[in-house]
Amino acid sequence: MIELVVIAVGGYLVGSISGSLLLGRLRDIDIRTMGSGNAGGTNALRTVGWQFALGVVVIDVGKGAVSAGLLPLLAPWLASDPLSFTTLAAVGGFTAVLGHVWPVYFRFRGGKGAGTAVGAIAVAAPWCLAPLLLVWLVTLIGTGYVGLATILAGLSLVPSMWLFGPDPLPTALAALAIALAVLLIYTHRANLARMRAGDENRFEKARLLRRR
């Protein structure tokens, strides 16, 4: 089981490399003091600009993919009979998301984990990627709420994992889908509260379906 521990810790440490905070240091800014205070791509776009946000997204998605796709390749060097690649990919991907949300390098104040989750899913369960992005886009276009789009996209992981995945579905992937869905709801709880209060900001440029 040593490989499981190494992949889990490695995923967390890789996930703790926050794109917005790392790039922000190069520009002498802390995005957590700007806009919504979230260290993620949406806040980066709104407060700093699309070029900065693009860099943030590339890093955040990339670290999820690296944790799910590359770290498990270390397993044969760590154990004579390692756990399956699928199991280690799920563990590495999920702990990377945890690292993004609670980064050890930045006093455990990070982002909401969506970009890193996408990177992990792209490697561990690529058949979920198209449904996830479709749900996200349709919700964003229909409502303008990025937070709501992300929550519903996260929830879509659960049915799409079973509907489009292998039969039987590996337990690790089932657990990954449920865990990511729950975590994304938790990290977006403030968005839900603002939507209930009518105070949530809309991304109006993306909202095509509006009341006239």
The ranges assigned to domains in the chain are 2-206
- 136-177 pLDDT, tens digit per residue, is 999 999 998 999 999 999 999 999 999 999 999 999 999 999
- 188-201 pLDDT, tens digit per residue, is 999 999 999 988 88
Taking a C-beta distance cutoff of 8 angstroms, is the pair 87, 75 a contact? no
Q: Identify the pLDDT of residue 131.
A: 97
- 17-55 pLDDT, tens digit per residue, is 988 888 888 888 888 888 777 777 778 887 888 888 899
Q: Which residues of 2-37 are buried (b: 16+ CB within 10 A; e: fewer)?
A: ebbebbbebbbbbbbbbbbbbbbeeeebebbebebe
The pTM score is 0.91
Q: Identify the pLDDT of residue 4.
A: 94
Compute the mean pLDDT over every residue in the chain, rounded to the nearest whole number. Answer: 91
- Read off the pLDDT band of 212 (50, 70, 90): very low
Nearest-5° Cα angle at 103, 97 to 107: 155
Query: Is pLDDT at 79 greater than 50 in this prediction?
Result: yes
- Read off the pLDDT band of 209 (50, 70, 90): low
- 119-144 pLDDT, tens digit per residue, is 999 999 999 999 999 999 999 999 98
